[in-house]
Each structure stands twice: as structure tokens, then as C-alpha cells.
Structure 1
């Protein structure tokens, strides 16, 4: 829904949906912090460089405007085999994230 997630107050709607009553305790839990670190490291390893990024079939879909295409690929993974998709993905990149 594009909402901030930078404070317990901002996370209240999500916490309510997940049945989390004490948001501050959940945020401070070592297991939660460890999982966040693992997820972050996995995202970096997958080449994620911005938010939102989805990974579908090993391909990155970056930006809110890519959600429809990511959903289409979930429904029909053969879309990634289309010659035009291959041509476009082979174009030179304007910028590359440093390592």
C-alpha cells in the first residue's frame, strides 16, 4: 500500500493484520533482527538495489510500475523467453551498482 514502515506507529496497521500486539517488543526481538539481516543480505545477493523490487524466476522487477509485468510472469513464465524481452535485457545499462 506504499506506507512508511519506519516507526512502530507506521507499522501498526500491518502489526494488527498479523496479530502482533506489542510492536516495540516485536521490533526489538533478536530473532526479528536476525531475520531482517538475513533478508537484507539475500536481497543484496540477488542484486536488489531499490524498493520495491520483486524477484520472479531469478529476474528482478524494480519499481512499482513493474508489478503488473511481474504478475504476468508469475502467470506465464514463458514471457521471459520472448525474444523482445531478451533483446531489451541485453541493452547496455546506464548505471551499475558498485560492489
Structure 2
């Protein structure tokens, strides 16, 4: 019997994770699967696995940018390369973890707001004031979120999920699992759908 859960390991700093996030809820709905969002620190994964961002490779970065635009067009979703890339997502990923732990019903709103700010609006989410404004506009109390992100339980959970990802063989974002089958990259979503069929 097929496992009807999609484990979605992601980091807001990955444009490919943004594209995957625009499609996975539809795939889950179409197949009757549960989408389990797994916030992880991509920097931690890179450090543990010796991997690097494609943007670090001179000839690969421009290709990846063009490819991401092609996929955004195919999916019918907005996408713009962020001029402030790379984004330090530590606080954002802690925020995602904290919201998931304490206010799971608001997690989708949080994730949508952050992905939109980075990969559609091109905002500088390295700037705490910008982050505060984005989250305030999405209906969050920025001060409460900072407290939530700073809580030791939140930090521990994010570290644990990042380690869990590495243990399962994750080396980049996005990575999806259906049962034990791993799929890396937003260009592998057809295989995720097939695994759920």
C-alpha cells in the first residue's frame, strides 16, 4: 500500500522550494495525500553533506535562473529572482518551526507570506524591519514571532528536523519523500504524483 503522505523538506531561501510549494498542495489534494511541511536549514544540510548552492557555480547559476522562470511559466505562478539573494533564513525558518509548533492553523499563511516576499516581491528579507513589515501585513505580531523563534524548544526542533533530513539522505531543497522514496528538486513533482497514485 502506498504511503499517502508527502514529507516536504524546504528552506525559504530556495527558489526551487518556492516553486514546489506552489504545486504540492494541489498534488496532495488530487491524490488524497497529506502534505507534511518540514522546515529545515539548508545551510546546515549543505554543511553536513558537502553540497553547495547551484548559484555558487558560475556556469550553473544563470542556467538555473532561466530554468526556474520556465517552470514558473509552466505552473502559471509569479516568480522573480531576488536581488538580495542569498537570504539568511535562520530567523525565518525558526519562525516557521515556531508557528508550526504553536499555531499550526496559521502555518500556511506564514509560509505564503515569506515565500511571496522573497520570490515574488523581491524584498530584502535579510532586513529585520522588512521581515517585521511583511509578517505584520500577513496578520502576525512580529514581536510575538521573534519570541517564538528565539525559544529554545523552537531552535531544538529546527535542528532536529535538519538532522532528520540529513539522516534520510537529503542534500538540497526541496526534497520530498513518499514513504522511503526520495525526490529532489521541484522538477521531480511528476514522480511524486506517480508515487502517490
When normalised by structure 1's length, the TM-score is 0.57
Residues 20 and 26, structure 1, Cα contact 8 Å, conserved in 2: no
Structure 1 gap ranges (5+): 77-99
Q: After the TM superposition, which residues 24-35 of structure 1 pair with which residues of structure 2 at under 5 Å, given as runs?
A: 24-35=146-157
* Distance apart, 1:68 and its partner CA: 2.7
The 3-state SS of whatever aligns with 1:2 is: helix
Equivalent of residue 170 in structure 2, options 48, 53, 69: 48
CA distance in 1: counterparts of 2:147 and 2:193, whole angstroms: 35
RMSD of the alignment, in Å?
Answer: 3.0
Q: Deviations over 1:51-97 (max 9, x none)?
A: 000111201100011123212212x2xxxxxxxxxxxxxxxxxxxxx
Indicate the residue corresponding to 2:51 in structure 1.
none
* Distance apart, 1:5 and its partner CA: 7.5
Indicate the residue corresponding to 1:39 in structure 2.
161
Q: Which has the higher contact order (CA 8 A, sep 6+)?
A: 2
CA distance in 2: counterparts of 1:26 and 1:68, whole angstroms: 36
Give the count of matched residue pairs. 72
Indicate the residue corresponding to 2:188 in structure 1.
66
Cα gap change, 1:65/1:5 in structure 2, threshold over 3 Å: closer, same or farther? farther
Structure 2 gap ranges (5+): 1-16, 20-86, 97-109, 115-134
